[in-house]
């Protein structure tokens, strides 16, 4: 085995480690590897960047090409890049010119509960009228959702154009924001602290190479599931009343995977719940490879865990992070999370806070001052809602996907994530932050630096950074201190009443709210039952195993 094969095997799940032998994902390649190699994974930070690229890619599709997508929420009127680029319009135009458009949208709970039932149904209806097909998929555990966000574009005869997009960005309102974080003009209401146009931080990956075939296989497994789209009699009545399409038409045969075009090994990690009564044919006992992938990578962490996450909840999930911190006194962890939960109601706020309070307590008991957690604000002082789902460990392993660090994402909803290990070594010091011989990798390091530079107001151009000398943020300790100094300066400026020039950066120390004991006691069971449920079989729950 080549040295770099050994490194990938140390960081990625090997054959059999996924814990789900029913999926076709790990049987697709003749070399028997549980990941694909020779890919190009490119981070698209911010919805505006992703939406512009997606629009351009769909516009060049022609008759016979294949467009597949899944989503948690789809708003047909959400503009990708100005008037006339509404996502419903763009997908319908593609279908009318002969592109094979197939979509799976989560059916969603009722709009009266602040979900997206009507929006998802309308997007599906528009696509069906244009000649495509979009099904409302409620094949989930009770109280669960389909949370995967993927788009696959295949071009028979032009495989060099094949691309897949995977990450945390839905095709819906609030997502079309950029680095200035002034918010999407098409906004949904959130907690009052975020204002009328909530600033939004998010990320998607653009994938080229053989991994495109893997992402397509994930879609096909769900599409070809013969189970009814819903078991609920009420939902069946709504399907009849709205004359919904409830039967998936046959897809064209899957084309050969695109040729290798880069240096990135990419492994698709997923969550599917242990679905009661009748499981998924491709995951009859569920799948928890996202959890397994994280836990394997965390066992190798030695220098820095960098996380951006919408939730960072659940002591049962952060136990793997805490174990790594407790066992390695040199290991540091940075978390970037929303300063304020998305809902601030009298009942919903404590339910949203209690899981993070307990999780951060556990992390700080394990790592002390080696754990630092921050929120973000834009230059107007408005909190930025962190919707990104990113983790970088020792600049060697990186994960980007739809999954959050909580029990719901690791066990209960459907999720899709990409773990990336680049074969290209980064020559900058420290060349091997973890000290295990793996070396810093270009993709993981550059992803971390791109995100950190934005939060520190150090974006600049590559040429400007090169002219300034070696990038000090490559060093984990320097990066950890830079975040602390920037947040302390901005916090002090706010404490002075915002007098004087505003310090550079967007970081604020995350202050754990003080919930009264009575609220903690009442919120905890509601949090476990409604906000962060457990989708594991009972035998795994008892051992807190995945």
Please say whether the beta carbons of 71 and 103 come within 8 A: yes
pLDDT at 111: 46
What does pLDDT average to over the chain?
93
Question: 3 falls in which pLDDT band (50, 70, 90)?
Answer: low
Residue 494: its H or E element = helix 476-495
What is the per-residue pLDDT across 384-435, written as a single tens digit (0 to 9) for each? 999 999 999 999 999 999 999 999 999 999 999 999 999 999 999 999 999 9
| pLDDT in the model for residue 496 | 97
pLDDT at position 122: 83
Beta-carbon contacts of residue 249 (< 8 Å; ≥ 6 apart): 102, 133
Q: Lowest-pLDDT range, 82-86, 142-146, 347-351?
A: 347-351
Overall average pLDDT of the 74-85 stretch: 96
* 3-state secondary structure at position 76: coil
Q: What is the mean pLDDT of residues 103-131?
A: 76
C-alpha 534/C-alpha 315 separation (Å) is 12
Cβ contact 313:285 at 8 Å: no
Q: What is the mean pLDDT of residues 205-221?
A: 98
- For residue 436, what pLDDT is reported? 97
Q: Where is 45: in which H helix or E strand?
A: strand 36-45
| pLDDT for res 208 | 98
Which residue(s) pair with 386 in the sheet?
201
**pLDDT of the residue at 120:** 75
Tell me, what's the pLDDT at 112? 45
Q: Answer whether residue 339 shows pLDDT above 90.
A: yes
Tokens 């830079």 — which residue?
A: 482
Tokens linked to 539? 């035998």
Q: Which two tokens stand for residue 159?
A: 């495989």
Nearest to 399 by CA among 444, 445, 437, 338: 444
pLDDT-wise least confident of 24-33, 87-96, 201-210, 491-500: 24-33
User: Model confidence at 468, in pLDDT bands (50, 70, 90)?
Assistant: very low
Model confidence over 149-159: pLDDT tens digits?
A: 999 999 999 99
Average pLDDT on 70-98 reads 97
Q: How many residues does the chain have?
A: 546
pLDDT of residue 4: 74
Name the pLDDT band for 344 (thresholds 50, 70, 90): confident
Please give the domain boundaries of the chain with CATH numbers for all domains: 35-261 (3.30.870.10), 287-441+505-538 (3.30.870.10)
Q: Torsion angle, CA of 20/24/30/35, rounded to 10 degrees?
A: -60
Confidence of residue 255 (pLDDT cuts 50, 70, 90): very high
The predicted pLDDT at position 462 comes to: 52
The answer on pLDDT for 259 being more than 70 is yes
How remote is the C-alpha of 351 from its chain's centroid? 22
Beta carbons of 373 and 339 less than 8 angstroms apart: no
pLDDT in tens, 481-527: 999 999 999 999 999 999 999 999 999 999 988 888 888 888 889 89
> For every residue of 338-356, which 3-state class applies, written as one string?
CCCCCCCCCCHHHHHHHHH
Instruction: Let me know if 108 is exposed, middle or buried by CB neighbors in 10 A (0-12, 13-18, 19+).
Output: buried
195-198 long-range contacts, Cβ below 8 Å, gap at least 24? 195/382, 198/174, 198/385
Token couple for 487: 């947040």
Q: How many percent of the chain have pLDDT more than 90?
A: 82
- 22 burial type by CB count under 10 A (0-12 exposed, 13-18 middle, 19+ buried): middle
Percentage of the chain exceeding pLDDT 70: 96
pLDDT of residue 467: 45
> Which of the two residues, 506 and 114, has the higher pLDDT score?
506
pLDDT band of 351, cuts 50, 70, 90 = confident
Q: How far is CA 409 from CA 47, 314, 405, in A?
A: 21, 11, 7
Which pLDDT value is given to residue 232?
Answer: 81
Amino acid 1: pLDDT: 47
pLDDT at residue 116 tops 60: no
Chain segment 19-45, per-residue pLDDT in tens: 999 999 999 998 889 999 999 999 999
Average pLDDT on 216-232 reads: 94
């Amino acid at each position: 085995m080549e040295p770099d094969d050994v490194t990938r095997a140390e960081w990625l799940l090997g054959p059999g480690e996924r814990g789900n032998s029913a999926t076709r994902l790990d049987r697709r390649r003749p070399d028997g590897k549980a990941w694909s190699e020779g890919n190009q994974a490119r981070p698209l930070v911010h919805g505006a960047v992703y939406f512009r690229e997606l629009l351009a890619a769909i516009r060049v599709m022609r008759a016979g090409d294949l467009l597949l997508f899944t989503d948690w929420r789809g708003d047909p009127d959400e503009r990708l890049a100005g008037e006339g680029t509404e996502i419903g319009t763009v997908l319908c135009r593609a279908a009318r010119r002969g592109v094979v458009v197939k979509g799976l949208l989560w059916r969603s709970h009722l709009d009266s509960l602040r979900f997206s039932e009507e929006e998802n149904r309308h997007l599906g209806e528009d696509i069906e009228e244009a000649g495509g097909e979009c099904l409302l998929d409620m094949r989930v555990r009770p109280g669960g959702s389909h949370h995967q966000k993927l788009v696959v574009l295949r071009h028979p005869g032009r495989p060099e154009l094949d691309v897949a997009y995977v990450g945390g960005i839905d095709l819906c309102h609030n997502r079309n924001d950029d680095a200035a974080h002034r918010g999407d003009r098409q906004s949904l209401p959130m907690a009052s602290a975020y204002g009328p146009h909530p600033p939004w931080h998010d990320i998607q990956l653009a994938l080229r190479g053989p991994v495109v075939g893997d992402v397509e296989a994930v879609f096909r497994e769900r599409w070809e599931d013969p189970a009814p789209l819903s078991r609920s009699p009420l939902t069946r009545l709504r399907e009849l009343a709205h004359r919904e399409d409830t039967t998936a038409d046959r897809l064209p045969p899957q084309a050969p995977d695109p040729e290798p075009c880069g240096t990135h090994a990419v492994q698709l990690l997923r969550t599917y719940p242990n679905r009661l009564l009748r499981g998924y044919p491709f995951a009859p006992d569920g799948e928890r490879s996202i959890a397994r992938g994280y836990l394997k990578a965390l066992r190798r962490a030695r220098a820095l865990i960098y996380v951006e996450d919408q939730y960072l909840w659940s002591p049962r999930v952060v136990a793997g992070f805490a174990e790594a911190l407790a066992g390695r006194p040199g290991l540091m962890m940075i978390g970037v999370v929303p300063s304020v939960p998305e809902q601030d109601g009298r009942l919903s706020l404590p339910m949203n806070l209690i899981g993070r309070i307990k999780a951060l307590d556990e992390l700080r008991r394990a790592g002390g001052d080696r754990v630092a957690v921050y929120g973000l604000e834009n230059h107007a002082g408005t909190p930025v809602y962190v919707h990104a789902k990113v983790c970088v460990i020792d600049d060697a392993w990186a994960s980007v996907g739809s999954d959050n660090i909580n029990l719901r994402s690791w066990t209960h909803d459907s999720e899709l994530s990409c773990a990336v290990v680049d074969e290209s070594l980064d020559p900058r010091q420290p060349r091997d932050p973890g000290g295990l011989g793996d070396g810093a990798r270009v993709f993981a390091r550059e992803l971390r630096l791109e995100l950190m530079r934005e939060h520190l107001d150090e974006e600049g151009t590559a040429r400007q950074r090169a002219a300034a000398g070696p990038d000090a943020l490559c060093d984990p300790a320097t990066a950890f201190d830079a975040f602390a100094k920037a947040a302390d300066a901005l916090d002090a400026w706010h404490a002075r009443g915002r007098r004087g020039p505003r310090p550079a950066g967007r970081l604020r120390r995350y202050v754990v709210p003080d919930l009264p004991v009575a609220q903690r006691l009442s919120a905890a069971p509601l949090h476990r039952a409604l906000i962060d449920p457990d989708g594991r079989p009972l035998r795994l729950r008892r051992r807190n195993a995945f």
